[in-house]
Amino acid sequence: MSDATPAGPTPVNQLSYEQARDELVGLVARIEGGQVPLEESMLLWERGEKLAAHCQAKLDAAQQTLDRATASGSDIEPGPDGADG
């Protein structure tokens, strides 16, 4: 017997956006595949909810960063494709 205990899944808050998204895609595929028992499906669903919320938080933070950058550069004239140009 081995003394090592299997590591559980990485805590969601420690995942990058890409890692969380990729894991979420995999979970959805497993659930939709219909080969997972109900109890496991429920656990996967709960993990998927956490992953989705984590991804959304990362996207929201990125959007806020872009909004701040855009607001700080608002005195720049729009280019030829700009609405005010």
Q: What is the pLDDT of residue 85?
A: 47
Between helices 38-72 and 17-33, what is the axis angle to 10°?
A: 150
The CATH class for the domain spanning 16-71 reads mainly alpha
pTM for the predicted model, two decimal places: 0.74
Q: Element (H or E) spanning 24, and its range?
A: helix 17-33
Model pLDDT for residues 23-69, shown as the tens digit of each residue: 999 999 999 999 999 999 999 999 999 999 999 999 999 999 999 99
Cα 46 to Cα 1, 5, 39, distances in angstroms: 32, 23, 11
Residue that wins the pLDDT comparison between 5 and 15: 15
First-residue to last-residue Cα distance in the chain: 72
Q: What is the pLDDT of residue 8?
A: 79
Q: With 60 as the cut, is the pLDDT of residue 1 above it? A: no
